[in-house]
Structure 1
Amino acid sequence: MLTITRLTVYQLQLFLSSYRYFAPITFYLIIIVWIYSVVPNPVMGSYSATAVLLYLFASWLGLNFFFSEPQIQQTLTVILARRRTGAPQWNRFM
């Protein structure tokens, strides 16, 4: 359990230091301000637009999180995590 916590903290630190979260969050906030700045604000229209935009920007943010670590570094992280936890090395000969 401790290793999972450390890996999670490592991934979050890596993601936050890469600044790949800045574009999705900035665009989302700008569009939300623009949607709710319309004077006759239709409730259902703005709610549905906010829900769709939240889904799109959350998926963009998730993909940025997934691809924030280079492939070689990701492989080394997995190897070191398995070695420290004592997990079975089933792909040792690959």
Structure 2
Amino acid sequence: NNMEAVLAAAIGCMGLAWMPDFLAADALADGRLQQVLPALPTHPGQFSLLWPGGRHPSARLRVFIDYAVAHLFQGAPEKGTAGIKSFQAQ
């Protein structure tokens, strides 16, 4: 379940790996990895940020959320917050 370990194993020629595209992007670009099954659907990854219910995110948390959206999903088909879902636990 550790994507960094999956990436390291794939780069080390230990087999095929299916991982979020943002994680493989640098290794694909510089030739350490090669896409071999292009017909498979891409895996953009999924992240969840949780904080206590009934609170608005603090300024620090808001900065982190904005950073994560801007940098973790570079290269995703839809940029920005269009794919972000928010709900409050009951």
TM-score class, shorter-chain normalisation, is: under 0.3
* TM-score, structure 2 as length reference: 0.26
Q: Which has the higher contact order (CA 8 A, sep 6+)?
A: 1
Larger Rg: 1
